[in-house]
Amino acid sequence: MRRSIYGETIQFRVPNGIGAALVRASQKDRTTVSEWLRREIIRKLRETGIDIDPDAGLTASAV
């Protein structure tokens, strides 16, 4: 089995149509929906001035 470098999973609800839009966006970038989302979330966090701390982990208070 292949080991992933990604240690967290996050799920959330979205409005109807987002799934199809994500597929189109990822296809335009020639990548998967998961990779497109990772890149865009990281880009937006950096743009907002948020650094990613890989040791922080997800806590209940953060959700």
Residue 22 one-letter amino acid: L
- CA angle, residues 7, 12, 17, in degrees to nearest 5: 125
pLDDT for 27 equals 98
Q: What's the pLDDT tens digit per position in 8-59?
A: 888 999 999 999 999 999 999 999 999 999 999 999 999 999 988 878 766 6
pLDDT for 58 equals 64
Q: String of b and e for 22-55 (b: at least 16 CB within 10 Å)?
A: beeebeeeeeeeeebeeeeeeeeeeeeeeeeeee
Q: Where are the beta strands (DSSP E) in 1-54?
A: none
Q: Domain-by-domain residue ranges, the chain?
A: 9-49
Q: pLDDT above 70 covers what percent of the chain?
A: 84
pLDDT for 55 equals 80
